[in-house]
């Protein structure tokens, strides 16, 4: 079962990067920050996402486990 996360970081990512982040939604905040949100398969996948942010030089601001989104 996937656990959903919201990962806030400093900087911007073009939405096309979503595929590199396992299909998580990428949204921009009004203050120069961005959010990755969506399901993560397990702890290893979560560490991989955080490593990708680090490799891009995007500072992590927060990470929160959130309830899954309801289908539209």
C-alpha closest to that of 10 among 53, 58, 55:
58
**pLDDT at position 4:** 96
Where exactly are the structural domains of the chain?
3-64
**pLDDT at position 47:** 95
Segment 18-71, tens digit of pLDDT: 788 888 989 998 899 999 999 999 999 999 999 999 999 999 999 999 999 876
Mean pLDDT on 1-12: 93
User: Which residue did the predictor score with more confidence, 15 or 45?
Assistant: 45
**pLDDT at position 72:** 55
The CATH code for residues 3-64 is 3.30.70
Task: Please list the residues that pair with 6 across neighbouring strands.
Answer: 37, 64
Q: What is the pTM of this model?
A: 0.86
């Amino acid at each position: 079962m996937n656990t959903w996360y919201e990962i806030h970081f400093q900087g911007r990512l073009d939405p096309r990067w979503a595929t590199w982040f396992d299909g998580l939604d990428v949204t921009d905040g009004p203050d120069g920050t961005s959010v990755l949100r969506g399901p993560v398969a397990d702890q290893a996948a979560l560490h991989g996402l955080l490593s990708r942010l680090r490799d891009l030089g995007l500072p992590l601001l927060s990470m929160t486990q959130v309830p899954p989104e309801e289908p539209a």
